[in-house]
Amino acid sequence: MTTKKKGAPALPLNTILAGDCIEAMNALPEASVDLIFADPPYNLQLRGDLHRPDNSRVDAVDDEWDRFSSFSAYDDFTRAWLKAARRLLKPNGAIWVIGSYHNIFRVGAALQDQGFWILNDVVWRKSNPMPNFRGKRLTNAHETMIWAGKDESSKYTFNYEALKALNEGIQMRSDWVLPICTGHERLKDESGDKAHPTQKPESLLHRILIGSTNVGDVVLDPFFGTGTTGAVAKMLGRDFIGIEREETYREVAEKRIAMVRRLDKEALQTTTSKRAEPRVPFGQLVERGMLRPGESLYSMNNRHKAKVRADGTLIGDDVKGSIHQVGAALEGAPSCNGWTYWCFKKDGKRVPIDLLRQQIRAEMSN
Amino acid sequence: MTTKKKGAPALPLNTILAGDCIEAMNALPEASVDLIFADPPYNLQLRGDLHRPDNSRVDAVDDEWDRFSSFSAYDDFTRAWLKAARRLLKPNGAIWVIGSYHNIFRVGAALQDQGFWILNDVVWRKSNPMPNFRGKRLTNAHETMIWAGKDESSKYTFNYEALKALNEGIQMRSDWVLPICTGHERLKDESGDKAHPTQKPESLLHRILIGSTNVGDVVLDPFFGTGTTGAVAKMLGRDFIGIEREETYREVAEKRIAMVRRLDKEALQTTTSKRAEPRVPFGQLVERGMLRPGESLYSMNNRHKAKVRADGTLIGDDVKGSIHQVGAALEGAPSCNGWTYWCFKKDGKRVPIDLLRQQIRAEMSN
DNA sequence: ACGAGATATGAATCTACTA
DNA sequence: GTAGTAGATTCATATCTCG
C-alpha cells in the first residue's frame, strides 16, 4: 500500500524495500518519517556489510592496526547510515538504536557528533540471558538502546502517561526487564532453525512505539530483518517502512506481518496527559458566572486568601495578577499551578477551582 | 606509606597525590598498577534550574570541573587521561570507567581506539534514583560502567567464584542493583552539606574490587574525590593510589580512609571464598524458631505482606510458595530474591530476613 | 521510648505557547 | 529570534519532629 500525504512525495508505507539501506533511504523524501528504529549489525567480521573504504592491503598487519581499521570501517558505515537516517526524520522526529558493548559506544558517539540529541540510554535487561559458559566474564545480561531526538530543539513525542500506566502507575525507568524472544514468537525456517539470529522481542518494540509514537505515525526500520518493527507497528496502528537486503528475511517478514491484525480503536486508546487537553482561561470561569467577581478563593493549605476580580485576575495582600502569579508570590515559590492551588467555597466546603475547569472541558468535548 | 616492590621503582602506595591526574600519572613508573577505577567528569551540560513538583530546587552538579566547551574538548581530555592510565597498567591490568549517557559513549569509543579490550559493560541499576520531575523523559535510573583489559591478550583478573558467591550461587550478571550513596555513608562538610556532589556507594567498589583484583593488588583512582575507592581498597586488603585536584576533597578522603579498618584475614577469606556460601533453606529459620509460623513478613517496599507457614513457605494474597516465588508474584517480576525482599518486625523495626540467614551462616562457620 | 507523619534529597543534558 | 507567562510534574529512602 502506497499512500500520498498532503503535498509530500509518495511514501512506500507498510512495505518492505529491498536493497542497501543507505541507498534506499536516500531515495525517500526528506523529513518524512516520525521515528526510526534501528538494530544495526555489529559483527566486525562481516566486512562486506560495512562498506569498508578500499584500504590498500598490508600483509604484515599487526593486531592493533587491524583492530583500528575495523573500528574505523565500522565508524564509516555507522556515520553513513545515520546521516541518511537523519535526513529522513521530520524536525520533531527521533531515533532508537540498539546495540551491545561491541558497537554501542561508537554508535552513541556518532549520534552526538551528527547533532542528534540523546534523550535517554535505555537498558534492556534480559530476564533469561545466555550464561557465560566459560566463567571468564560476567553474564552478558543486557543490551543498550539509545533514544535521541533529531536535534537539541526537537519536540520529540513522549507518551509519559501511557508508559506510566504500563508500569503500574510508577514513572517508567531507563531499565526495562523483558524476556528474550523465544517460543512461538521466535520465527523458524522450514528446517526448524531460527529464521534470524537476533530477532528482537515484540515487547521491546511495543514499549518503544507506545512511548515515542502516536497512532498514524510513520516508523522506519533500516535493518528490518524478520520485521518485528513492522509487526508491532501494524498492530498498534502505526505505519511502517522496512528496508532489508536479504530476500529470505523479507519473505519471512512479509508473511509474518500479513498475519498481524491491527488493534481496534478502543484498544489503541492510551492514557493521555493533562497537557494534551485544551486550555481554559481562568477568566472564562468568571464570564460564565461559575465564580463571581469579589468572591474569595482560599489556598490549598488554607494559609492564604485572595479575591476574584472581574477581569479574571486575583488580588491578595499586596499582590495582584493571574491565579498562578498570586499563588507563587504568596508562597514565595518560583512558580505555582493556580488551578490546583486555589479553592472556592461551595456549601461551606472547599472545592478546587480545577473542578470548574473540568466542567468546561467536558462541555467542550460534547 | 611508600612501599618498594621487588626491583620496581617506588610507588606512593596508600597515599593521595595532589594535582592534575595526567601529570601525576605520567610521574609514576609504567606497568606498575593492577587495576584502575575512574569516575571522570560526565560533561552534563545542564542549563537552567530544575525544581521538584513541590517547588524545592534540585541541587545540580554545576561544579567547574564538569564544564567542557564541546564534545571535541571532552574527547581530548578523555584520550589524554586514558593514554596516561594505560601506560601505568601492568600487561595483565584492567580498567573500570563509570559514566552516564552524556559521556560514556565517548569514553567507550576512546577505550577501543586506544587498544583497550572491553570485557563487559556493566549497568548499575539504582534502586532509588532521582525521578524525572517534569515527566519529559524516562527516569534516568542507571549508570554504565565499562570493564576493559589493557589489551586483547591481557590475562585479566576475574574472581568468578567470589562473585557467584556474592550472588547467592548464581553467576553474576552484567546488571547490578545497588542503592545510591545516602544516609550515614554520604560524607558531609562542616555545614552539613554533601562533601562531594557525586560520591559513589561503597557497595559498587566492593563488588568491583572483589571481582577483578586480589589481596595485595595495587588499585589506582585518578579522580579520587572523597576516596570511596581508597576506603574499600583498604578494607579489602588492596593497596591504593589516589589522585585528586581539589584540596577539600583530599582532606575529606584522608580522614575517611584513616577511620577504615582492614578486614582480618579470616573475614577477607570469607568474602573472597572460593566456594559459595553454604545454602540456608528458609525453612530452617522456622525450624529454629527465629521466625514463628503465622508471623507476618513485610516487603522491602512495604507494599506487600505475607504470612510464614510451618513448612517454610509463605502465603500472601492468592499466592503461596517460597519466599522467592511469592515475592516475584507480588511484584509481577520474573524473579525475586526473597532473602533481601522480605523483612520481619523486631521491636517494631523492619529487619531483612537475610540477617537471620547470616546468623546461621556465622554459626555454621564456627 | 516509640510510632506516625512530615521533611529532605539524589550525576538532570526535564515545557509550551503566544506576542 | 527573545521575553513573558500559563501551568504540568516525583520515587525511594533516610532523617527529623512531635505527640
Q: What is the pLDDT of residues A110-167, one digit of tens each?
A: 999 999 999 999 999 998 899 998 899 999 999 999 999 999 999 999 999 999 988 8
Confidence band of B272 (pLDDT split at 50, 70, 90): low
Residues B250-264, mean pLDDT to the nearest whole number:
91
SS3 state of residue B198: coil
Q: Which residues of A touch B275 (CB under 8 A)?
A: none
Say what the pTM is.
0.85
pLDDT of residue A4: 45
Other CB atoms within 10 Å distance of the CB of residue A281: 12
pLDDT of residue B311: 67
Helix extents (H) in chain B: 21-26, 71-88, 104-113, 160-166, 202-212, 228-235, 247-259, 265-271, 283-287, 323-331, 338-341, 354-364
CA of B131, C1' of D11: distance in angstroms: 6
% of chain B at pLDDT higher than 90: 64
d(CA B126, CA B200): 11
pLDDT of residue B107: 98
CA of A335, C1' of D8: distance in angstroms: 11
pLDDT of residue B271: 59
pLDDT of residue B263: 82
Residues B114-135, mean pLDDT to the nearest whole number:
97
**Region for A315 from its dihedrals, namely left if φ exceeds 0, alpha if ψ lies in -120 to 50, beta otherwise:** beta
Place of cell 524478520: A226
- In Å, how far is B187's CA from the nearest CA of chain A? 27
Query: Do the chains contact at B172 and A104, CB–CB below 8 Å?
Result: no
Beta bridge partners of A139: B173
**∠ CA B20-B25-B29 to the nearest 5 degrees?**
155
CB B155 within 8 A of CB B209: no
Q: Please provide the average confidence, as pLDDT, over all residues in chain B.
A: 88
Residues B247-276, mean pLDDT to the nearest whole number:
78
Per-residue pLDDT of B46-94, as tens digits, reads 999 999 999 999 999 999 999 999 999 999 999 999 999 999 999 999 9
pLDDT of residue B273: 43
Does the pLDDT value for residue B24 go beyond 70?
yes
d(CA B216, CA A134): 26
pLDDT of residue A61: 41
Successive 10-residue mean pLDDT values, chain A, 366 residues: 54 97 97 98 60 45 58 94 98 98 97 98 94 93 98 96 89 94 92 93 94 97 98 96 97 97 87 89 95 95 92 93 95 92 92 93 84
Does the pLDDT value for residue B290 go beyond 70?
yes
Strand C reaches within 7 A of the B361 CB = no
Q: Which helix (H) or strand (E) holds B91?
A: strand B89-99
What's the Cα-to-Cα distance from A65 to each of A104, A174, A274, B144, B257, rounded to whole Å? 21, 36, 56, 28, 43
Query: Do the chains contact at A140 and B118, CB–CB below 8 Å?
Result: no
Helix extents (H) in chain A: 21-26, 63-88, 104-113, 160-166, 202-212, 228-235, 247-259, 265-268, 283-287, 323-331, 338-341, 354-364
Q: Which of A236, A238, A272, A232 is nearest to A256 (CA)?
A: A232
